[in-house]
Amino acid sequence: MKKVLFLGGVCSILLTLTFVSCKKEVVPKKEVLGESEKQEMTSDGRMLIFNSSSTYESLVSNPDEKAQKEFLMKISKMSYTTYGKKIEKEKSIDLIDDEYFSTIINEDGIVQIGDYLYRINAVSEKVFVLPASHISEYSDLVCENKANKNIRQFSTGDCVIELAESGDAGQKSLFCGEDGCGSDVQNTLGFSYAGFIGAGKVRYLSLGVYFCLKAEAESNSNYVRIYLNIENAWDKVKCGATHGATSYPWYQNNSTYSVQQEFRKYYGIQPLNGMHMKARVRCEIPTTVGYETVFTNWGEIRANSPY
Mean pLDDT of the chain: 83
Instruction: Encode pLDDT of 91-149 as tens digits.
Output: 887 777 788 899 999 999 999 999 999 999 978 889 999 999 999 999 999 999 999 99
DSSP notation for 262-303: EEEEEEESSPEEEEEEEEEEEEEEEETTEEEEEE---EEEEE
* pLDDT at position 117: 98
pTM value surpassing 0.85:
no
* pLDDT at position 197: 86
Mean pLDDT lowest for which of 17-21, 242-246, 275-279? 17-21
Please list, in sequence order, all residues whose beta carbon lies within 8 angstroms of the beta carbon of residue 275, skipping any fewer than 6 positions away.
181, 204, 213, 234, 235, 236, 265, 266, 301, 302, 303, 304, 305
* pLDDT at position 187: 79
How many Cβ atoms sit within 10 Å of the Cβ of residue 237? Answer: 19
Give the mean pLDDT of 265-285: 94
* pLDDT at position 254: 85
Domains (ranges, CATH) in the chain? Answer: 15-175 (no CATH), 185-303 (2.60.40)
Per the DSSP assignment, residues forming a β-bridge with 39 are none
Whether the pLDDT of residue 6 is over 70: the answer is no
Give the mean pLDDT of 200-216: 94
E strands of 92-224, at which residues? 110-113, 116-121, 126-131, 152-155, 185-193, 196-206, 211-219
Residue scoring higher pLDDT (193 or 58):
58
Residue scoring higher pLDDT (177 or 100):
100
* pLDDT at position 198: 84
